[in-house]
Amino acid sequence: MENSYEKELNLEATELRLGLPGSDESQKRSIVRSNKRSSQEVSEEECVSKGSDVTTDDHDQDNNVVPPAKAQVVGWPPVRSYRKNSMQQKKEEEGEGSGMYVKVSMAGAPYLRKIDLKVYKSYPELLKALGNMFKCTFGEYSEREGYNGSEYAPTYEDKDGDWMLVGDVPWHMFVSSCKRLRIMKGSEAKGLGCF
């Protein structure tokens, strides 16, 4: 389903725009409640909006209760520092490491986007997301001829600094080595190959 898929992409969260964080409350809340909401994806804006505990579902709100302070209480909830730290480490690693949040640019377009590669499980999912994001289509991928016949082709820069065609290596290897993505014109991408 397009709708929930887009929510899962966290498009709003990664969008670059002018405007105060938290200004798009209703949309953010729905993202917050999506299946993919896990610690590493929550952006700054969502952190703020989560502090206010108004929900969109049917249940009564807990409005007759001492509201919890926005600041975190020391040692609460009782999750061991050791466990909290491993979760924290994952958050940080994924922020800096190659293959997680990567910049996506498009030939001819004056803006950059960022996507989180961890959100996708396969190339078709990623390509669909990229297509939606940049309003373009890619043709059928084949090992020999790449994205033959399509106007655009997705490419990426790997750890070694080489530009490769998206789809040439197994998925998880791509995720671990991709530093950034670039949607090139089909003609530009013709020269790229595996090695």
Partner 1 sequence: MRENHPSTNSEDDHRSSLLDLARAEITESSNSKSRTCGGFPGPGSGSGPSEPQAPFPDQVLENVLENVLHFLSSRRDRNAASLVCRSWYRAEALTRSELFIGNCYALSPTRVTARFTRVNSVTVKGKPRFADFDLMPPNWGAHFAPWASALAQAYPWLEKLHLKRMIVTDADLALVADSFSGFRELILVCCDGFGTPGLAAVAGKCRLLRVLELVESVVEAEDDEEVDWISCFPESQTNMESLVFDCVECPINFQALESLVARSPRLKKLRLNGFVSMAQLYRLLHRAPQLTHLGTGSFSATEAGAVVDQEPDYAAAFEACKSLVCLSGFREIWADYLPAIYPVCANLTSLNLSYAHVNADQLKSVIRHCHKLQIFWVLDSIRDEGLQAVAATCKDLRELRVFPVDAREGTDGPVSEVGFEAISQGCRKLESILFFCQRMTNAAVVAMSKNCPDLVVFRLCIIGRYRPDPVTQEPMDEGFGAIVMNCKKLTRLAVSGLLTDRAFEYIGRYGKLVRTLSVAFAGDTDTGLKYVLEGCPNLQKLEIRDSPFGDGALRSGLHHYYNMRFLWMSTCKLTRQACQEVAQALPNMVLEVINVNSEENAGDVEILYMYRSLDGPRDDAPRIVTILH
Output the smallest distance, CB 28 to partner 1, in A. Answer: 13
State how far the Cα of 61 lies from the Cα of 163, in Å rounded to an integer: 52
Nearer to partner 1, 134 or 171 (CB): 171
93/140 with CB nearer partner 1: 93
- Closer residue to partner 1, CB minimum distance, 16 or 82: 82
Instruction: Say if residues 76 and 82 touch (Cβ distance below 8 Å).
Output: no
CB of 7 to partner 1, least distance (A): 15
Burial (CB count within 10 angstroms: exposed 0-12, middle 13-18, buried 19+), residue 183: buried
Least distance between partner 1 and beta carbon 60 (Å)? 6
CB of 70 to partner 1, least distance (A): 9
Binding region for partner 1 (CB under 8 A)? 33, 35-39, 42, 50, 53, 55, 57, 59-62, 64-66, 68, 72-84, 86-87, 90, 121, 158-160, 169-173, 176-177
- Strands 101-106 and 178-185: what pairing? parallel
What are the angstrom distances between the C-alpha of 97 and each of 65, 82, 119, 135?
A: 41, 22, 15, 28
- Within 10 angstroms of residue 1's Cβ, the number of other Cβ atoms is 6
The smaller minimum CB distance to partner 1, of residues 152 and 174, is found at 174
E strand or H helix at 152, and its extent? strand 152-158
Tell me whether residue 178 or residue 184 sits nearer to partner 1 (CB atom).
178
> Smallest gap, in angstroms, from Cβ of residue 167 to partner 1?
14
